[in-house]
Each structure stands twice: as C-alpha cells, then as structure tokens.
Structure 1
Amino acid sequence: MPVDIVDLRSFYRSPLGDIARRFIVRVVRSRFSNCTGYSILGVGYATPYLGVFRDEAVRVLAFMPSEQGVVNWPSSGHSASALVEVTRMPLPDSSIDRVIVVHALEISEHPHDLLSEIWRILTPGGRVIVVTPNRSGLWARLDSTPFGHGQPYSLGQLRDLMREALFSPTQWAEALYVPPFRSRTLLHSAAAVEAIGAYFSLPGAGVLIVEATKQLYRPVGVRKAARQVAPQFQPALAPEAIGASCSSERDRFEP
C-alpha cells in the first residue's frame, strides 16, 4: 500500500528522516556528481534528493504517483512537481538524462511497467538510480518509516528486475546502517554507525541503491518465448486409391 504524501513529508521533516536523507543523498550525489546541462527527473517521493541538482541541471522535475498524492515543489518559484500515472508519464521518448527513483518501485503494483516507462523517456546512454528497501534490513521490517511499506527487494531480485527492463546495472551501494530508532543518543551517533557499516560492508543495511544505464539493444534471453512442440497427429482415415479399393471390394464378394 502506498504511503500517503502527508506521512512522507512528516518523516523527512523529522530528525530520523533528515538522517536518512543525508546518508542516501551522499551516495546519489557521488554517482551523479556532475549534471551540468542535464535534465533530471525524480519519480516517487524524490524531492528530498533533488535539491542538490537545481543549480547545475537544465531542469529538475518531480513526478509523484497518483495513488500517493503530490506536494508543491520547490517551495519558492515555479512548481516543478506533478501528479502522474508513473507507468504513462507525460514526456516524449528520450527526453530525460538522469532519473532518481525513491519511494516508488516498492509500492508499485507493476514495477516492470514502471521501469519500462523510465527506459522509454531516458536518452540513449541515460542513467537511473533506484533506491529500494533492503529485504534483509531492519528498516523494511518496521512500518514506522516509509521504508517499511511496500515490497522490499533483495540484491538478486532487484538485479533481475532491472535486466528484464533492459537496464544494465553498473554500480551497487547500500545505506542506512543505523537502526530506524528515534533515540536521541542513537541519532547523535548515527554518522559513526553509518561510517562503520559502510567501511566494513556490514549486512542489514536499510536500503539498496543501484545505478543502471539504458541498453540500446535487446539481449538474447531477456524474454523467453514459450515454445511448445506441436503434437504429431495421425490421420483419422488413411486414403486409398479408388481402383485398389474397388478391386478389394470385388475380390471379397466374388465366390
């Protein structure tokens, strides 16, 4: 079930939400380090992660799922957010250079269609970053944060889903090693916990972050057609020559 837009906005205004934003945007920014002259699209509730690109990108848009709700973004100036059907976005083919997907894939009823639509609007060689809850992480097991809703993914599940949608995963990362608790002591030590978890690649991170590029070809085996061997039917009646049939009938009745 999608998280309501009010709950998403409240979470990111809280101390725990600010910590989640800082740790995830650090990874996102390291992958999309220079977006000068690019068009960037955020899908889901990606506005907490889009602000760092506004000063360098040509345009930054935020598309939010119709079942989730929408908020005006940015808070000043012309609005760049819209309520859309994310599997049918109002954009032409090959019109976006970079896409950031947050709080979208795990709540989508049709994740493959969502990724296929992102593939359509990406420019040739365009790149996408997808952030999803980690199935083995603590954040996915508690519904006190938005990362505890929807369908969490394992590394293998996310990789297969991306490849089926004709994306080539190029970089993998994890974030949110800090537990999703609102203890003041834990929040103060969150940076140290995150640094230790990332340095040792500890299991149980809260989110998986994958970067992928748009493939321009369809690899063999992406879609396996179901081929069935046609059964070998035997004719119900075996044809015979007319002369032979008459001769046999005559022979049978002659004394």
Structure 2
Amino acid sequence: MRQPAATLEAFYKSRLGEAAAQRMGARMLDLWGPCDGQRVLGIGFPAPLLTVWQNDAATCIGAVPEEIGEVRLASEKGQTLCSVPENRLPFPEGLFDRVFLLHALEEADSPRQMLREAWRVLAPEGRIVVAVTNRRSMWSLADNKPFGHGRPWTRQQLVRFLNDSLFQVTASTTAVHMPPLDWRLITGASKSWERAGELILPGLGGVVLVEAVKRLYSKPGGSAAAPVTQAVKASKPKPVMPRKLAGRDAAQSVEKTAIDVLSGADRRSVNQITGAGET
C-alpha cells in the first residue's frame, strides 16, 4: 500500500525533507543539466524534483498514482500533475525526452509493469533516472520517513532490473548522505554531509539513482552498466562516452559529455503536449 500524499508532503515541508530534496536535485542536475526545451515527466511523487526543471523544460509534468490522493504541494509550487492508474500512463508513445521515478518502484504492485510504461512514453534514445531507497543506508531503516517504506534496492539490483527491461544503464550514483534526523545541526550542513559521504562512504547514500537510455535494439541483460564515475561527481564534466540526444533533437550536433546540457524545440503548453495525437 502506498503512502498517502499528505504523509509525503509533510516530510518534504520539514527541514529534513527540504534538505533531502536539495541533495537529490543537485545530483539530478549533475546528470541531466537544466533540460532546456526538453519534455520532462516525473512518475510517483515527483513534486520535490520537478522544481529543478519547471522553468527551463518545454514541458514538465508529473504523473501521480491515483491511490495516494491529492498533492497540494505541487499546486503551491505551480507544478502540473495528473492522477493516473499506477501502471497505465495517459500519454502517447515516445512523448517525453526525460523521465524520472521518485517514490515509485518501492511501493509498486508491479515494478516491471511500471517501468515498462515509463519505457513506452520515453522517446528513443531518451534518458530515464530511477531514484529508490538504498537498502544499505540508514534511511531504509527509518520507518517514520518516506524512504523507510516499501522495498529498498541495492545499486546492483536496480542496474540489473533496468538492463533486463530494455534499457542500457549509463551511470549510477547515490545521494542524501546525511543521517535521517531532523536536527538543525544536520540539515543545515547537508552539503558538508554530502561531500563527506561521497569521499568516505560513497555507496551508503540514502537514495540510489541509476540513469539509463532507451535503446530499441537493447537485448535484456545485454548492456554494460557504468559504475558511478568521477565525471558525475566532478564540478566540470569530462567526456566519457558519446550520447545521442533524445527524441526530436537527435539530429542536432552538440559536444557529448558525461553531463549533457540540452537545448531543443520551442516551448509548448501542457495541454498541447498531452493532447497531441498518436502517430
């Protein structure tokens, strides 16, 4: 059973929740950049991370499982959310350039079916990031926090799961290294906790984030996973592998780095995007 929206909202309005959202948002920016002109979809409880791109992306929308109830936090932040059946998204195939999952897989009735729907609405060569509770962290034991509910994952489990679901894993990392304690001394120094955790215990962050690319020709279990790289951690990205842009921007020529800053088509309204006909 999923946690109600009110419980998740109360956490992310707390000092600890705000600090956790900041640390996850910083890691997502490391991976994706601002996503200028891209179409971004968040699945699960995406409100804490939608703010990262809502002012830059052409479309930035969240899909929330209908059983968790109304999400007031999104309205307060000017975000666009839609309530959807857990395993059926109301979007045509290949609509989004970027998809991320937060508070999604851990409590899903069928994680594989949920990921399959994410694959369906993602454009070819589009990129997905799945954020889940790290089984090896203290956060997975904090049952009075949202990350202490549902099924936690190890990085290796999530990498295998994505590789077996027609994705090719390109990067993995962790975030939220501070203890799950709402103390001002901890939340006020969340950046310091993050830097220390990355250096001393890089695998024990509270949240595992794995990025993958939708490859139409990828065979289950056949792709090689990249471990967390220095390029992801570094302040300046370094070229590590070529990447193609997602969807309609595939033909544009850009410098390809471990952290891509993408620019694309003109902005369109959410109504136009979600109302687009299937081809």
TM range (shorter): 0.7 to 0.9
Describe the superposition over 1:157-208 as per-residue Cα deviations: whole angstroms up to 9, x where unpaired.
1111111211111011101111101223222333212111113344422110
What 5-or-longer segments of structure 2 have no aligned partner?
Answer: 223-279
Whether 1:150 and 2:172 are equivalent positions in the alignment is no
What is the rounded CA distance, in whole Å, between the counterparts of 2:85 and 2:220 in structure 1?
A: 31
Distance 1:35 1:221, change over 3 A: closer
What is the rounded CA distance, in whole Å, between the counterparts of 2:140 and 2:167 in structure 1?
A: 25
Percentage of identical aligned residues: 33
User: Partner of 1:53: helix, strand, or coil?
Assistant: coil
Flag as ranges the 4+ runs of structure 1 deviating above 6 A. none
What is the rounded CA distance, in whole Å, between the counterparts of 2:210 and 2:77 in structure 1?
A: 31
Q: Contact (CA 8 Å) 2:106, 2:152: kept in 1 or not?
A: yes
Q: Contact (CA 8 Å) 2:107, 2:150: kept in 1 or not?
A: yes
Tell which has more relative contact order, 1 or 2 (C-alpha 8 A, sep 6+): 2
Question: For the aligned residues, what is the CA RMSD?
Answer: 1.7
Counterpart of 2:210 in structure 1 is 210
What is the rounded CA distance, in whole Å, between the counterparts of 1:17 and 1:76 in structure 2?
A: 15
Alignment TM-score, normalising by the size of structure 1: 0.82
What is the rounded CA distance, in whole Å, between the counterparts of 2:221 and 2:195 in structure 1?
A: 40
Q: Contact (CA 8 Å) 2:168, 2:218: kept in 1 or not?
A: no
1:109 offset after TM fit, Å? 1.2
Describe the superposition over 1:10-55 as per-residue Cα deviations: whole angstroms up to 9, x where unpaired.
1000000011001000001111104122111110111111112122
What is the rounded CA distance, in whole Å, between the counterparts of 2:39 and 2:140 in structure 1?
A: 31
Counterpart of 2:98 in structure 1 is 98
What is the rounded CA distance, in whole Å, between the counterparts of 1:188 and 1:124 in structure 2?
A: 41
Counterpart of 2:162 in structure 1 is 162
Which structure has the larger Rg? 1
Counterpart of 1:138 in structure 2 is 138
1:149 offset after TM fit, Å? 0.4
Distance 1:76 1:170, change over 3 A: closer
Q: How many residue pairs align between the two structures?
A: 221
Q: Contact (CA 8 Å) 2:12, 2:48: kept in 1 or not?
A: yes
What 5-or-longer segments of structure 1 have no aligned partner?
Answer: 223-255
Counterpart of 2:14 in structure 1 is 14
Whether 1:75 and 2:76 are equivalent positions in the alignment is yes
What is the rounded CA distance, in whole Å, between the counterparts of 1:149 and 1:20 in structure 2?
A: 16
User: Partner of 2:56: helix, strand, or coil?
Assistant: coil
